[in-house]
Amino acid sequence: MNQISTAPDAAYQDRLTRYQNELALRDRQGARLANLRTVTFLAFLGFGFWGGWEARPALFIPAAGSLAAYVALAIVHAGVIRREDFARVKRSLNERGLARLGGRWHDFPSHGRAPEGHVYAADLNVTGPGSLFQRLDETGTAGGEATLQAWLLTAAESAEAVRARQEAIRELGPLIDFRQALVTEARIAGRRDKADPSRFFTWAEAPSSLQTIRWAWFVAHVLPVFTLGSAALAAADVISALPFWGGLIAQILVVTLTRKPIAQMWEALSLGERGFVRFEETFKAIDAQRFEAPRLAMLQRGLQDGPPVSERLRRFSRLMGFAELKHSGQMHPVINALTLWDLLVLFRIDAWRELHGRGVRRWFDALAELEALSSLATWHFERPQDVFPELDDGPVHVEATGLGHPLLDRPVRNDVALRGPGEAWIITGSNMSGKTTLMRALGLNTVMALCGLPVTAATFRASRVQVLTSMRVHDSLSQGVSYFYAEVQRVKTVLDTAKANPQRCLFFLDELFMGTNARERLIASRHLLFMLLDLGAAGAVTTHDLALTELATDRAGKIRNVHFRDEMKGGDMTFDYTLRDGVVQTTNALEVLRRAGVAV
């Protein structure tokens, strides 16, 4: 596939126009084919009834020709409908791309969901409405979504693993056609929800439903030949019609005797295939692509243990296309009685399952990882100004220049540095000045770096850390949990995790112990911060308690005071969101109250 060198918005707009034109073309083709199918079906009925009414078997020949034409047109029509579905989904994917570039991604339905009490997801907007996951997710299957979410919620196992993802993301970034091909069929299958092939895995790995009627395999391949051959000979007046009617009665008996196992297999197959579609085009795109990144090449090699997966799925797709004649209330009973159609097709599908079923789960595990990498690559393609961070497996440290919040349209940039274990910032500043936003910017960019994403910074260097936060603490009336106790539980989780990961944790704590009095708050905050630093953690704390800033004198060189400030200009309160050294010298709580109409 050709690499894209144009601007992201132009690339999306070009494709949007292309697929809108293709949709109009497919719609016209579909209307013509639907009319032709109606004509051939009426011809089949006309010749068939005429031949039966007039007892003229020769008329069954044009009836059979009309039937064959109907089946052929149905197959062609199904292909046109499929291409129309592809064009519709690809139009939607490019509309989503333009929406992301225009900042209109907050309405996307996929939010992700972290486990209750996750150590940073809710505080840093990793999942949920307005989250990084909502902005990133361009997966098509439930497996792809789960993989992407897992990467955001758990750091990669090593810096080397992160670098492997970075190489893959760099390569996938310009391959917009390939990335969209990965998810198109899944979006067709899923409609509202992500396509979930798990039930198809169950069918593919299960024992055969046709074991009890193995005898019917031979019958299905011999008896229809006898019956239809007798009909042809009778039509030519070579023999009487009696053998034909005898064969037809025998076939109807076979249909009756095999009805239950056939229904069981069809139900299991239909249930599994509903969230599966065929994915032929998806794996065809994977088969055709030539990868340089080692991780991508490894995933592709894992799919090459035989014929290309796309060929194996094309075979399944073709068989399912034949099997779906069962959905035709008009034609299926007649064709099945004349040819034992269900047996012929389902025995072949069962043979496909026996040959390939055990590999299906592995195919889709590889696809899930490719989808997750492609979602990350979409971020890289749309935000070329973001940089890939430098990561190592050493003790905790993070340094960045020009750091901004990745989910803000025009973030103010700041330089930050926590150069080793035991270092911390105490951030002071007036309300709304940017204290918490800075911590979220550093925390979220670190999470992004640990999963392989480019980050919103000019430069970014960090170790593979465990991020810990305590920012959005909520009480619970239903569980009888006060705000203070909820915060204590959260702080205990932070402390226990830091004990389990010495010199590996990066913490962000916002306004500690607000549920108690000022004296006890200061004592508790002081001891908590010292415990974390003694465990080799590093991080930042925001506070309005200026007494907490005195800790910088207790651990000179390790604890640093920084602040944000506000200014009054022409009677208006303004913020520049720029980080400065030292302790804030101004406050604005009373002014905020006055401007809200509370006279103080």
Per the CB < 8 A criterion, the answer to whether 260 and 212 are in contact is no
Count of alpha carbons within 13 angstroms of residue 519, beta-carbon side: 0
CATH of domain 390-595: 3.40.50.300
What pLDDT score was predicted for residue 152? 97
CA distance 408 to 402: 14
| Whole-number pLDDT of residue 276 | 67
**Which residues of the chain register pLDDT less than 70?**
1-6, 48-60, 189-192, 274-277, 329-330, 473-482, 568-573, 587-600
pLDDT tens per residue across span 332-357: 888 888 888 889 999 999 999 999 98
E strand map for 47-104: none
Indicate the SS3 state at residue 440: helix
Q: CA-to-CA distance for 32 and 437, rounded, in angstroms?
A: 58
Rounded Cα distance, 170 and 520, in Å: 51
Phi, psi (5° rounding) for residue 43? -65, -40
Nearest to 177 by CA among 387, 9, 3: 3
Q: Which of 518, 520, 564, 516 is nearest to 540 (CA)?
A: 564
Give the pLDDT confidence score for residue 599 in this predicted structure.
Answer: 66
Cβ 440 vs Cβ 124: under 8 Å: yes
The per-residue pLDDT for range 526-557, each reduced to its tens digit, is 999 999 999 999 999 998 888 888 898 888 88
Separation between Cα atoms, residue 185 and residue 276, nearest integer Å: 9
Quote the pLDDT of residue 475. 44
3-state secondary structure at position 477: coil
Q: What is the pLDDT of residue 479?
A: 47
Q: What angle do CA 576, 573, 599 make, to 5 degrees?
A: 150
**Residues 6+ positions from 555 with CB-CB distance below 8 Å:** 422, 530, 533
pTM of the model: 0.85
> What are φ and ψ of residue 487, in 5° steps?
-70, -40
pLDDT in the model for residue 153: 97
